[in-house]
Amino acid sequence: MSEVSRFVIEPEALGPRLGEPRLKIVDASWYLPAQARDAKREYDAAHIPGAVFFDHDRVVDPSSPLPHTVPTAEDFSRHMRALGLSNEDEIVVYDGIGMFTAPRLWWLLTVMGARNVRVLNGGFDAWRANGHPVTDRASTPAPGSFEATFNREAVATLADMRRILDDGSAQIADARSHGRFTGEEPEPRAGMRSGHMPGAANVPVFSLSTDGRLKDLESLRTTLRKAGLDPAKPVVTTCGSGITAAVITLALYSLGHEDNRLYDGSWSEWGAREDTPVKKGHGILDEAASSLKE
């Protein structure tokens, strides 16, 4: 049997455990405008019994002009307590599609000091398709005691990214779609240039999963290598606004690769500036293949 990530849990394993006092479930769904889905409305209509809703647009640094900047430890603690979460809880996060936005909350909770967080493999779609219970009843948890201890080393800043482009000290893995990465498709946010950071590798978010389930470890390893990443070297993950980059981070951690960071500003910051280099066309793997043909 293929080995799977220790950071995921199957619907079949979660189902019989609903209602356990230290088990907390969080719906972390979020969608791009083009997907035309309202995550909160869908949660209100149907969710896993006992699940609370995490708002990616609200739990951010309000002082930042960027859409999904990592909040302060104090603000994150306050939001998690309101959701009934504590550091010692076993926390399962999910999204509607599976392996799309739930890994962002997995990453946030982990870098803020949560001890046991997993992602529901297949997401809510798989949960419901397998006949597990759903409800529209609002969850009203008792306040939790979450105390965040922020691991700043897990986050890359704009200054870090400039330095990486200068010295090549880390690989850059971009989770956006291939069309956005190459510049053939426009960015969904106004004011964003199209293209990618020079030297970046494209690892489209959905290339790491099948039907919303994270690929097994060997398949993850193959996908990352085919994208041009060396598993022995440091990696910085990025995407449109820092949400889907966490799927690459989850894949890396699943393979035992912990020398990685997530670029907080991602393309919302890099692509909106006029003083950051942007390249269109293919990434490092395609460039290497082209050079061999010449």
Please state, in angstroms and rounded to a whole number, the distance separating the CA atoms of residues 111 and 282: 32
Identify the pLDDT of residue 190.
Answer: 85
Phi (first) and psi of residue 47, to 5 degrees: -150, 170
Domains of the chain, earliest start first: 8-150 (3.40.250.10), 153-293 (3.40.250.10)
Q: Annotated catalytic sites, by residue?
A: 239
Residue 104 contacts residue 56 (beta carbons within 8 Å) = yes
Mean pLDDT to the nearest integer, 215-236:
97
100 to 31, 122, 123, 204, 286: CA distances (angstroms): 9, 10, 9, 11, 25
Identify the pLDDT of residue 285.
Answer: 53
Neighbours of 20 (CB within 10 A): 10
Please state, in angstroms and rounded to a whole number, the distance separating the CA atoms of residues 162 and 164: 5
Angle CA(47)–CA(50)–CA(56) in degrees, nearest 5? 60
Mean pLDDT of all residues belonging to the chain: 94
Look at the pTM and tell me if it is higher than 0.85.
yes
Residues 6+ apart with CB under 8 A from 43: 27, 29, 51, 53
How big is the chain, counted in residues? 294
151 to 154, 233, 265, 282: CA distances (angstroms): 6, 20, 17, 33
Question: In this predicted model, what pLDDT tens digit does every residue of 180-218 receive, in sequence order?
Answer: 999 999 998 888 999 999 999 999 999 999 999 999 999
Torsion-angle region of 72 (φ positive above 0: left; ψ -120 to 50: alpha; else: beta): beta
Any idea which residue has 């470890």 for tokens? 217
Identify the pLDDT of residue 283.
Answer: 72
